[in-house]
Amino acid sequence: MSLLSDTLARVKPSPTIAVTTKAAELRAAGRDIIALGAGEPDFDTPDHIKRAGIAAIEAGKTKYTAPDGIPELKAAICEKFARENGLSYTPEQVSVASGGKQILYNALMATLNPGDEVVIPAPYWVSYPDMVLLAGGEPVVVECPLETGFKLTPERLEAAITPRTKWLIFNSPSNPTGAGYARAELKALTDVLMRHPHVHVMTDDMYEHLAYDDFKFCTPAEVEPGLYDRTLTCNGVSKAYAMTGWRIGYAAGPKALIAAMRKIQSQSTSNPCTISQWAAVEALTGPQDFLADNVTLFAGRRDLVVRMLNAARGVTCPNPEGAFYVYPSIAGLIGKTSAGGTLIDTDEAFATALLEETGVAVVFGAAFGLSPNFRVSYATSEAQLEEACRRIQSFCDGVS
């Protein structure tokens, strides 16, 4: 009898974490590496939030809490949804977990039976299909190519829905493409969902606060109030407040679902870190003005990266609406050979050769379900980005 479960055999480890680990190993071995793989802001948690964490420790707020969050944080989350999204929730409709990842995982564990289908637009965040598999469900991947701006269309959504569809996972702005849905585009999708009352929506709004130019973030339950009872609106403090290591994510939705998620948490992690919950209260209720400064900073980096990557031979890089990623196509390089002699027959071969020959670490598109592409995270300094893009340009120049 195998020690490991059959379910685990269906799941692969996170490729983004694998790239970050490989880059760190090469750096430790003395190589000059520029890592564009990590999905986290390159700056520190703001001081007022750190101080709230320290104050919590000093005040002895270091014990277990209710499984899905302290009342103060739930109240802050309700206030955030009302203030920023026009959504009205009560604390019993709110769940807090150890990161956005655990929120999504709890929700899938709480709802999926064998054979239940989850529609996942691709390119997708790497964890969605594997979390669905871990929870015993079936991912139904819908390809959303460059021609549709990497966005799900109503026609593609309609075609993916079957009587077994339980969820659509909806992520805007997106990891890995940065694509964000305008209100009209989202309304066209929610109109489809209104025709299929058995389908629920899990929205991943993690990049809400990273929206550029005139793009206005919106979320399904706000755009279509008719979906309120079948939407789990998920968010977190990791990306907006540079709090990835604090591990706080949250969601709001139907009471019965929130209670089921609480049951899972009570039998697994018990509660999200108490100290981090107090820091998250400060993040959501404290000053918000630095968010606009971050947007200006990231928008400048995006412009730099898009311009320089489009100048690389064989690369096409769309200009995304949000997040801190771009997802260029390398269709123009497939079938050719790098200066170092690697045949670029896949985007994985491209990313491997790029890392070995230039020291630039990116994540290959196949990891996100749409090829041939690669993902660049521009959550790093302009100087590093400029140097990395120069190396990518000269790598592409050397391909023949």
Ligand X SMILES: Cc1ncc(COP(=O)(O)O)c(C=O)c1O
Chain contacts with ligand X (rule: CB under 6 A): 39, 99-101, 125, 171, 175, 204, 206, 236, 238, 244, 249
Q: Which residues, listed in sequence order, are joined to residue 344 by a DSSP beta bridge?
A: 336
Give the nearer residue to ligand X in terms of CB position, either 89 or 124: 124
Give the nearer residue to ligand X in terms of CB position, either 100 or 359: 100
Q: Which residue is nearest to ligand X (CB)?
A: 99
CB of 238 to ligand X, least distance (A): 4
DSSP state of 322: B
DSSP state of 214: T
Give the nearer residue to ligand X in terms of CB position, either 38 or 306: 38
Report DSSP letters for 70-105, one per residue. Answer: -HHHHHHHHHHHHHHH-----GGGEEEESSHHHHHH
Give the nearer residue to ligand X in terms of CB position, either 96 or 309: 96
Q: Which residues, listed in sequence order, are joined to residue 326 by a DSSP beta bridge?
A: 376
The answer to whether 182 and 161 have CB atoms below 8 angstroms apart is: no
Give the burial string for 107-144 (b: 16+ CB within 10 Å, else e): bbbbbbeeebbbbbbbbbbbbbbbbbbbbebbbbbbeb
Q: For residue 381, give the amino acid letter.
A: S
CB of 102 to ligand X, least distance (A): 7
CB of 127 to ligand X, least distance (A): 7
CB of 283 to ligand X, least distance (A): 12
Residue 173 in 3-state DSSP?
A: coil
Give the nearer residue to ligand X in terms of CB position, either 273 or 333: 273
CB of 26 to ligand X, least distance (A): 22
CB of 3 to ligand X, least distance (A): 28
Q: Give the phi and the psi of residue 320 in degrees, each rounded to 5.
A: -80, 160
If we measure between CA atoms, which residue out of 60, 55, 57 comes closest to residue 286?
A: 55
Give the nearer residue to ligand X in terms of CB position, either 244 or 358: 244
CB of 151 to ligand X, least distance (A): 15
Give the nearer residue to ligand X in terms of CB position, either 120 or 189: 120
CA distance 263 to 97: 12
